């Protein structure tokens, strides 16, 4: 709890940061048609003894090298693809991740110029990379739901895979624990953490973390604890003004975990000897904490993607200064002394330089001067904007990170009353799948958007007609996630074909019909919620394999397989094991 003295210091720190004079400029780029296209920065790291900042730009497939003091452009390198991260590893090597190309690209910066080195074909949809023992790299595969160990090219051999471990969730963050040589693979959307043997790839165990949207997991300076940035969606709370006002429905948190307890993975003692610090206070929520850093002095810096701020503080003092930065800050890079940092603002193509000790903004660098956002891009800003919600506790992205969904339930009046929390539905590929919601409460997407802001987020204002158009354009641009299985493999393709026959023979396509694998009607499929509803609208099956590990409106099925084996979903007779495997392969191909 904050007492009056601490609250006064907190607000003083906030005012200090808000009043800091920021010098804003754009580095020189030729005045061509490409100059006004957004670069979409997503990550950054320091190189060259902190003299240079490398910035990964996702949409343009570009790596920028900037003077870390002035922000002036030194070099620009186009590697193409979908660059989602740039990582400087302990051995001084730098790797960019091309998610669309399923590859790691080594980046060199020599004599003020960027160039590429080794290229490693790795796991499908790579999301992050860390160094392992020896010369090995560990790569998280987001949509492939796997972690892969690769060895870069050397004088003796070409780049190659050492092992791949398949998971039942989509990993994003990886953290290597030494001396145990265990890697933690952390769920990008939900609450799962898998423990893998870094030498062999064997999965040792899996635990469910009390939280979701886990965006950061780092060591504290003495290496005794892990610091985690995450959110918590409380299915026991309701989307009422009161529960949101007090941060009870969705909270934004920094959690300190005892490293020894984490290694034990004992659910009863997992959080023992640790503690949690909320981000945000009543009247000023801190929506969507993203990846975080901790300086050598123990100062934590975490971008708040929904609040357009960065929070800075020290564990011992529980005092978070919140500095205004650009739109949707997603990452921060800090120099080796912990004195200055650069915040990456994804949705307005900017970087913000901050003085960590003074808790102040020094300057802002615009990467795309003269860029005019499209209607869908303005909708994406709204999707990540926590000011739509009461006190800024959440954005649409809080429950739908990346447009997907947390594997949790929310009690948000989607069925007209409280006390019946339901699983959050993915928004990927939801265009032309009306009606919306588990009981088909909204015939039009526009109506659902207005109701979401009004009753789920308890927003103070209704959306304007222009905002509805913008949000609708963004949501309709979201495509389904890629399938887990590879239909190009002959035996997999044959299994998919057999599974489709079983799908039709069992009458699954009566409800999950057409190219979207859904329909507009409500059906009784033997399920009932807490309010007595027995009629449900079938969700689209596009991307269904990416929604686990749990399924159904109340998450009662522990896996996609359990939908049929334990809950006998719409089955008159159990499927044989070969038929079940073919049906599951077909579903995972959608």
* CA–CA gap between residue 307 and residue 284 (Å, rounded): 9
* CA–CA gap between residue 147 and residue 145 (Å, rounded): 7
DSSP 32: S
* CA–CA gap between residue 139 and residue 167 (Å, rounded): 13
Residue-wise pLDDT tens digits, 524-541: 989 999 989 999 999 999
Q: How far is CA 100 from CA 189, 405, 477, in A?
A: 19, 21, 17
* DSSP of 541-559: -TTGGGS-SSBSTT--BSS
* DSSP of 62-106: EEEEEETTT--EEEEEE--S-EEEEEE-TTS-EEEEETTTTEEEE
pLDDT at residue number 15: 34
* CA–CA gap between residue 280 and residue 311 (Å, rounded): 9
Task: Establish whether the linkage from the previous residue to 485 is cis, with ω within 30° of 0.
Answer: no
Taken as a whole, the chain contains a residue count of: 590
Structure tokens at 178: 């030494």
Structure tokens at 154: 């050397």
pLDDT at residue number 417: 79
* CA–CA gap between residue 574 and residue 588 (Å, rounded): 20
Domain locations in the chain as residue ranges = 376-476, 490-588
Q: Which residues contact 576 (CB under 8 A, 6 or more apart)?
A: none
pLDDT at residue number 7: 34
Name residue 150's beta-bridge partners.
137, 161
Structure tokens at 525: 């499929």
**Which helix (DSSP H) or strand (DSSP E) does residue 562 occupy?**
helix 560-565
Percent of the chain with pLDDT over 90: 79
Residue with tokens 């915040």: 343
* CA–CA gap between residue 99 and residue 140 (Å, rounded): 11
pLDDT at residue number 157: 78
**CA triple 176-181-182, angle to 5 deg:** 60
Structure tokens at 181: 């040589």
Burial classification of residue 116, based on how many CB atoms lie within 10 Å of its CB (0-12 exposed, 13-18 middle, 19 or more buried):
middle
Residue-wise pLDDT tens digits, 295-337: 999 999 999 999 999 999 988 776 789 999 999 999 999 999 9
Residue-wise pLDDT tens digits, 179-207: 999 999 999 999 999 999 999 999 999 99
Residue pair 12/51 in contact by the 8 Å Cβ criterion:
no
Q: How far is CA 538 from CA 135, 233, 418, 508, 544, in A?
A: 48, 24, 21, 10, 12
Q: Which residues of the chain have pLDDT under 50?
A: 1-35
Task: Let me know if the fold of 376-476 is the same as that of 490-588.
Answer: yes
Q: How far is CA 383 from CA 178, 399, 410, 515, in A?
A: 39, 11, 18, 27
DSSP 385: -
pLDDT at residue number 318: 66
| Measured torsion, CA atoms of residues 481, 487, 491, 495, in degrees rounded to the nearest 10 | 60
Structure tokens at 82: 């979908």
How many CB atoms within 10 Å of residue 576? 10
Closest CA to 512 of 425, 504, 574: 504
DSSP 480: P
Q: How far is CA 355 from CA 50, 69, 311, 314, 340, in A?
A: 15, 11, 12, 15, 5
pLDDT at residue number 32: 38
- What architecture is domain 376-476? Orthogonal Bundle (1.10)
Q: Domain 490-588 adopts which CATH fold?
A: Cytochrome Bc1 Complex; Chain D, domain 2 (1.10.760)
Residue 105 has φ and ψ, to the nearest 5°, of: -120, 120
* CA–CA gap between residue 261 and residue 294 (Å, rounded): 21
* DSSP of 410-422: E-SSTTSSSS--E
Structure tokens at 480: 């389904």
* CA–CA gap between residue 560 and residue 545 (Å, rounded): 8
Q: Which residues contact 247 (CB under 8 A, 6 or more apart)?
A: 278, 280, 282, 285, 393
Strands 23-26 and 360-366, bridge-based pairing: parallel
* DSSP of 447-466: HHHHHIIIIIS--SSPPPHH
């Amino acid at each position: 709890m904050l007492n009056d003295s601490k609250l006064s210091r907190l607000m003083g720190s906030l005012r200090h940061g808000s009043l800091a004079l920021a010098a804003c400029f754009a580095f020189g780029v030729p005045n061509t048609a490409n100059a006004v296209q957004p670069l979409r920065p997503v990550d950054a790291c320091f190189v060259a003894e902190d003299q240079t900042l490398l910035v990964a730009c996702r949409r343009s497939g570009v790596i920028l090298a900037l003077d870390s003091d002035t922000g002036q452009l030194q070099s620009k390198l186009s590697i193409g693809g979908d660059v989602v991260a740039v990582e400087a590893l302990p051995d001084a090597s730098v790797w960019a991740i091309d998610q669309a190309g399923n590859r790691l690209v080594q980046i060199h910066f020599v004599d003020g110029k960027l160039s590429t080195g080794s290229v490693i074909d790795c796991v499908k949809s790579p999301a992050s990379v860390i160094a392992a023992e020896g010369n090995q790299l560990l790569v998280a595969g987001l949509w492939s739901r796997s972690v892969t160990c690769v060895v870069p090219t050397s004088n003796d051999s070409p780049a190659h895979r050492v092992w791949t471990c398949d998971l039942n969730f989509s990993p994003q963050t990886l953290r290597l624990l030494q001396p145990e040589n265990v890697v933690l693979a952390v769920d990008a959307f939900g609450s799962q953490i898998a423990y893998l043997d870094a030498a062999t790839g064997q999965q040792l165990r899996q635990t469910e973390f009390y939280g979701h949207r886990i965006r950061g997991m780092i060591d504290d300076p003495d290496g005794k604890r892990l610091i985690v940035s995450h959110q918590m969606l409380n299915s026991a709370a309701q989307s009422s003004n009161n529960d949101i006002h007090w941060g009870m429905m969705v909270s934004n948190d920094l959690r300190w975990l005892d490293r020894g307890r984490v290694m034990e993975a004992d659910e009863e003692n997992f959080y023992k000897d640790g503690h949690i610090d909320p981000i945000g206070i009543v009247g000023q929520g801190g929506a969507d904490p993203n990846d975080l850093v901790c300086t050598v002095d123990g100062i934590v810096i975490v971008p708040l993607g929904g609040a357009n701020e960065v929070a800075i503080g020290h564990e011992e003092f529980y005092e978070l200064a919140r500095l205004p930065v650009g739109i949707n800050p997603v990452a921060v890079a800090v120099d080796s002394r912990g004195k200055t940092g650069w915040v990456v603002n994804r949705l307005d193509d900017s970087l913000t330089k901050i003085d960590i000790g003074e808790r102040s903004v020094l300057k802002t660098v615009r990467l795309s001067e003269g860029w005019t956002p499209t209607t869908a891009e303005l909708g994406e800003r709204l999707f990540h904007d926590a000011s739509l919600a009461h006190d800024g506790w959440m954005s649409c992205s809080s429950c739908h990170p990346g447009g997907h969904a947390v594997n949790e339930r929310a009690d948000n009046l989607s069925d007209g009353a409280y006390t019946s929390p339901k699983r959050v539905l993915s928004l990927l590929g939801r265009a032309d799948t009306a009606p919306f919601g588990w009981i088909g409460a909204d015939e039009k997407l526009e109506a659902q958007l207005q109701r979401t802001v009004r009753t789920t987020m308890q927003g103070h204002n209704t959306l304007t007609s222009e905002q509805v158009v913008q949000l609708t354009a963004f949501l309709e641009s979201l495509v389904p996630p890629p399938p887990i299985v590879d239909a190009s493999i002959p035996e997999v393709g044959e299994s998919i074909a057999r599974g489709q026959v079983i799908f039709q023979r069992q009458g699954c396509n009566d409800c999950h019909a057409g190219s979207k694998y859904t329909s507009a009607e409500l059906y009784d499929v033997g399920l009932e919620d807490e309010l007595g509803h027995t009629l449900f609208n079938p969700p689209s099956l596009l991307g269904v394999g990416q929604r686990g590990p749990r399924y159904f409106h109340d998450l009662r099925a522990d896996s996609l397989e359990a939908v049929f084996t334990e809950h006998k979903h719409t089955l008159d007779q159990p499927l044989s094991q070969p038929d079940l495997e073919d049906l599951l392969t077909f579903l995972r191909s959608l």
